[in-house]
Amino acid sequence: MTDLKLEPGKSYETRDGRVVRVLCVDRKHVYSVVALYPDAIVGTWTLNGEKYILNGNHADDLIREHVPAKVVELTVTQNSQTGDWCADKQGDSGNWEYRGRIRIILRGKDFDVEKVND
């Protein structure tokens, strides 16, 4: 499983991408972690973040601490003479042409890039 150190008050992501908030980690049971799903359903896990011990990987396993995404949108331009690309500023000459907008979604050290429809 994972090397998570589950802590009360922190949020974690399940294998299928849902976010749960840990309420306690000291329940007197093999499933000692109690957490709350966004729809107010309570779930339990092992200290390793496993939803079911004998079931292998499960969609509800806790796999990482949740890091809220930061979103940045940039205008992308290209210099028609040099082919250089630039984001959110134009070069000194007037040869820069609008090429569209992109959205960068940052989650800790991970990121996704997507085109924004104009």
pLDDT one-digit tens code per residue, 27-76: 999 999 999 998 889 999 999 999 988 878 999 999 999 988 898 888 88
Q: What tokens appear for 43 in the block?
A: 């779930």
Residue listed under structure tokens 């000692």: 32
**pLDDT at residue 110, rounded to an integer:** 81
CB contact at 8 A, 113 and 97: no
Question: Hey, where are the domains in the chain?
Answer: 11-65, 70-116
Compute how many other C-beta atoms are within 10 angstroms of the C-beta atom of residue 14.
Answer: 22
- The predicted-structure confidence for 68-104, as pLDDT tens digits, reads as follows 889 888 888 888 888 888 876 555 556 778 888 888 8
- For β-strands 19-24 and 85-87, DSSP reports them as unpaired
